[in-house]
Amino acid sequence: MELSFPKIFPALHTERLRLRLVSGIDAPIIFHLYADPRVMLQRGEPVFEEIKQAEKLIYSWQKLFAEGNGVRWGIEEKESGKLIGSVGFKKIVHQHFRADMGYELNPEFWNKGIMTEAVKAVIEFGFNKMNLHSIEANITPDHMASKRVLEKLGFQMEAYYKENYFYKGWWDSAIWSLKK
């Protein structure tokens, strides 16, 4: 049994979305997303203050893919062609056939089922094309929107860590997992 990491960046399609490679040309949109305090509230990270931070983040996503350690897609709305978020595997543990998932979405598109649709496509790709055995998501326990996405897709909360993350104070973490 072997994990099958894609050699060429895979574009994914759903009814309303195209999940695609994020490139340097997308830096202004990624900057806008990560500079929004509403988006960053549950991430435990500071809001972006310079576009160079977005450029560095995009480069880190590209490097992650090039090294076979992650895949981060841009979420593009098919109808408008607008990049509205990102989703993907921020860490892949090859020997255990496991990936850690992360995502964020422009607040204009919250509560429309978009993230559920995007995460579902990524899960299907991970299980059916990459041969993953499990996918995890680490969220803050009070992040209700993220919790709803994970529950809709069959994830189960497997762990709860108290004060295991520090950013301007201590944060709790909830680990959610879905097995193939």
Return all residues near 74 (Cβ < 8 A) that are at least 6 apart.
19, 20, 21, 22, 26, 83, 85, 86
d(CA 169, CA 140): 13
The residue with tokens 């649709």 is 117
How do residues 36-85 score in pLDDT, each as one tens digit?
A: 999 998 788 899 999 999 999 999 999 999 999 999 999 999 999 999 99
Residue 6: inside a domain, yes or no? no
Residue 159: inside a domain, yes or no? yes
How do residues 98-128 score in pLDDT, each as one tens digit?
A: 999 999 999 999 999 999 999 999 999 999 9
Q: Which domain range does residue 106 map to?
A: 12-179
- List, edge to edge, every strand of the sheet that includes 17-21: 12-13, 17-21, 71-77, 83-93, 98-105, 134-139, 170-179, 156-166
Confidence category of residue 95, pLDDT binned at 50, 70, 90: very high
We report the CATH number of the domain holding residue 57 as 3.40.630.30
* Mean of per-residue pLDDT scores for the chain: 95
**Stretch 137-143: mean pLDDT, rounded?**
92
How many CB atoms are closer than 10 A to CB 137?
23
Q: How many domains does the chain have?
A: 1
Given a cut of 90, whether residue 167 has pLDDT beyond it is: no
Residue 1: inside a domain, yes or no? no
Q: Tell me, what's the pLDDT at 168?
A: 85
